[in-house]
Amino acid sequence: MQHSLVTGASRGIGRAIAVALSERGDRVAVHYGSDQDAARQTLDLLHGEGHMLVDGDLSDPAIAQRAVDEVLASFGRIDVLVNNAAIAPSPETSHAIDAADYATWNHVWERMLDIDLRAPANMTFLVARSLMDRGLPGAIVNVGSRGAFRGEPEFPAYGAAKAGLHAMGQSLAVALAPHGIAVTSVAPGFVGTDRQQQKLAGPQGDGIRDQSPFGRVATPEEVADAVVYLSSPRSQWASGAILDLNGASHLRS
């Protein structure tokens, strides 16, 4: 049995990943930022027993340390870390350079880099060091974005943070391989989470679906399936990979 920690697992992609890992037989720590009710709903959906909740704003290094310590105290080890927690693009976080004022620009950049890049870096450090101290192999999977490659003109901090997350994963894949720890990333395109249903049902919906030649968007479960594979001991040779999950809506050369 593997012991997994999924950050940002109260809903959406994180919830789907937590459920899929529990279906595999993992004990899962469900991290959430502030919505305890939603996190408990995720916990109720998990298969098997022995799962747990852990909370906190992971942009605070002390809270990240506390979260990892709580999971280690309960599980004894963390075999799999999924860095999913992030501030996603939304009307509230839009900061296009030709529209945002300087104060908004700085605030959004600081917050997105803290949550979407620095927090995963700290969580990776803490979990990797816990594995190294115990002489155990493991897997770290980062949930990045197609936006790291095609650009995010209305959300440049998001695109930059996700590009940094991919680059960090590749650097640490090399550094952690001698310790038996694999590091990979997934780069989803548009995913039809609950929060996106209103947009998909509105006038933008057809255009979003038409981004892919399949004429649809991804489901959270499709992202979760990829994470299940990449977090398996059988996928160690994929370490360093960035797996595109965008339905051929953006092709990298």
Identify the residue whose tokens are 């892919």.
212
DSSP three-state, residue 48:
coil
Distance CA 92, CA 83 (A): 23
CA distance 21 to 242: 20
Residue of 32, 102, 158, 229 marked active site: 158
Alpha carbon 154 to its chain centroid, in Å, reads 21
Q: Which of 26, 33, 43 shows the shortest CA–CA distance to 7?
A: 33
Calculate Rg over the CA atoms of the chain. 17
Judge whether 229 counts as a catalytic residue: no
Q: How many residues does the chain have?
A: 253
Catalytic positions, please? 158
